[in-house]
Chains A and B, each alone.
Chain A
Amino acid sequence: MRVLVAADRPPVRDGVALSIAARFPDADIDTAANTPECARLLEREVPDVALIDSDLPPAGAMPLCTRLHGMQVRTLVVVVGGADEALELLESGVAGVISGSEGLAGMVDAVQTVMDGHTHVPSALLGGVLQGLITRNRRQENAHDRVQRLSRREQEVLALLAGGRDPVSIARSLAISPHTAKTHIRHVMSKLEVSSRIEAAALAADLGVGLDPVGGRR
């Protein structure tokens, strides 16, 4: 097993590395003190598990997380924030989050948990993370219900808005006048209960409106 430990403070980095070595004597452990060093080690060594401080300088852990997910590295991030930060990281593809209060023993347990293929969320954050997921699901369902209120033509307009098109371009695509296009846009915004075309486009993007079957824009 190969493990990467990334934290800028030497006592933390070395302490975690030693604890992991004690639990997993056969593990190869690499350490990094910043995001560029972490990225280099990821490319060269491709660890099985990466344990990263969310505040890793200079860019933080988040930019690395998507990349790690694509490399199928089981990533654990030590969070300093609460459930919102934890949920954002989990949605980016990390295998688990750890809070500082779990201590070294908790961090090592978390490594075992994700190596076993499970997701690790600290008990103290679990309720908040589940609540965050429920709130997001409700928001998406509400958005879906609002889109269902649109007429077929209005849904076509929304799809074009999601593609970043302006009223003149929408009018041309639908073979209607710019005045009619703007009227449709106003109706779309009213039914979706948003106050701008950008909000409407963002809502549509969240729901995948305007995407072709392979995920690209129409």
Chain B
Amino acid sequence: MNVDLAEDRPGRLGRTTVRHVASGAVVRRVDTPVEVALNPTAFALWELCDGNTEVGEMVEAVCQLFEVSPEQAVVDVTNGIRQMREAGLIT
């Protein structure tokens, strides 16, 4: 993971509502038509996007909790961050 991405500190955008469903959660921005279904891990990452937590820290925590390789954790977290960014949920 390159340094820029590792030190990236995404933050949640706008006011949102959350609806928990069996497969995770649906996050909706109240100021736009954006509504995104997130699986449990992606929703947890969204909760961590407070503007202070680095992506590298998220990767390390996922690695520790799920006992996956650092390479797999990087893929899982960066994919989740990219999807949420593209959906307009985070900076």
Q: Do residues B48 and A127 form an inter-chain contact, with CB atoms below 8 A?
A: yes
Chain A residues touching B, majority SS: helix
Partner of B41, one of A124, A126, A131, A134: A126
Partner of A123, one of B24, B58, B62, B65: B24
User: B19 CB to closest chain A CB, in angstroms?
Assistant: 12
Number of B interface residues in the complex (CB < 8 A): 20
User: A103 CB to closest chain B CB, in angstroms?
Assistant: 11
Q: Do residues A134 and B24 form an inter-chain contact, with CB atoms below 8 A?
A: no
Partner of B48, one of A119, A134, A138: A134
Cβ-closest chain A residue relative to B21: A123
Question: CA of A124 to CA of B67 in the docked complex: distance in angstroms?
Answer: 20
Q: Do residues B40 and A126 form an inter-chain contact, with CB atoms below 8 A?
A: yes
Per-residue contact bits, chain A 8-47, to B (CB 8 Å; 1 contact, 0 not):
0000000000000000000000000000000000000000
Question: CA of A127 to CA of B80 in the docked complex: distance in angstroms?
Answer: 14
A69 at the interface (CB under 8 A from B): no
User: A75 CB to closest chain B CB, in angstroms?
Assistant: 15
Question: CA of A137 to CA of B25 in the docked complex: distance in angstroms?
Answer: 27
Q: Do residues B44 and A126 form an inter-chain contact, with CB atoms below 8 A?
A: yes
Q: Do residues A133 and B43 form an inter-chain contact, with CB atoms below 8 A?
A: no
Per-residue contact bits, chain B 35-55, to A (CB 8 Å; 1 contact, 0 not):
000001101110110000100
A residues less than 8 Å from B7 (CB atoms): none
Partner of B60, one of A127, A129, A137: A137
B residues less than 8 Å from A123 (CB atoms): 20, 24-25, 40, 43-44
Q: Do residues A137 and B65 form an inter-chain contact, with CB atoms below 8 A?
A: no
Q: Do residues B53 and A119 form an inter-chain contact, with CB atoms below 8 A?
A: no
B residues less than 8 Å from A119 (CB atoms): 65-67
Cβ-closest chain A residue relative to B23: A123
28 A-B pairs (CB sep. < 8 Å) = A90-B65, A119-B65, A119-B67, A123-B20, A123-B24, A123-B25, A123-B40, A126-B40, A126-B41, A127-B43, A127-B44, A129-B65, A130-B45, A130-B48, A130-B58, A130-B61, A130-B65, A131-B47, A133-B64, A133-B65, A134-B53, A134-B57, A134-B58, A134-B60, A137-B57, A137-B61, A137-B64, A138-B57
